[in-house]
Amino acid sequence: MKITLSAILPRSARSKAEATDRLVADYITRTTRYFPCTSQLFDTEAALLDWLTLQPGRVRAFAILLDSRGQQFTSEDFAARLGRLRDDGIQRLVLAIGPADGWSSQAHARADLLFSLGRLTLPHQLARVVLAEQVYRAATILAGHPYHSGH
């Protein structure tokens, strides 16, 4: 299963993001020990939805959209969900952080799962870091690595 961490992040907001970009890149590098993992930024929601449509594979990409009204998981539950998707033959998993004003009805219709990092509002760049770390944590949980010690 290939994982892509994506976000709607206008170019004007990217110049201030060097520190968080380094953190995201570090977690992606760590995750690639367990799963192929990349990061993809989009200027608009429409660009992300178009890109999702074009992803190769026997089945369409599984899209998890981050949304404040989505399901909340513990790290263990999130890892178990990723493990089930992997075991069910999902080839491409896309986790996407949406636009500042929220996802459109089109995006909600395309989503396979709505996922919330919690009830707090986070800036996009910080949410990218938290998401990247949780994907890495999930990979280590599935592999039985001691990074996640259960607390």
Kind of pairing between the strands at 2-8 and 113-115: unpaired
Q: What is the pLDDT of residues 41-85, one digit of tens each?
A: 999 999 999 999 998 877 899 999 999 999 999 999 999 999 999
Q: Check residue 124 and give its pLDDT.
A: 87
pTM value is: 0.93
What are the domain boundaries of the chain?
2-143
Average pLDDT over residues 105-118: 97
CATH homologous superfamily of 2-143:
SPOUT methyltransferase, trefoil knot domain (3.40.1280.10)
**Closest by Cα among 108, 95, 100 to 124:** 100
145: CB partners within 8 A, 6+ apart: 139
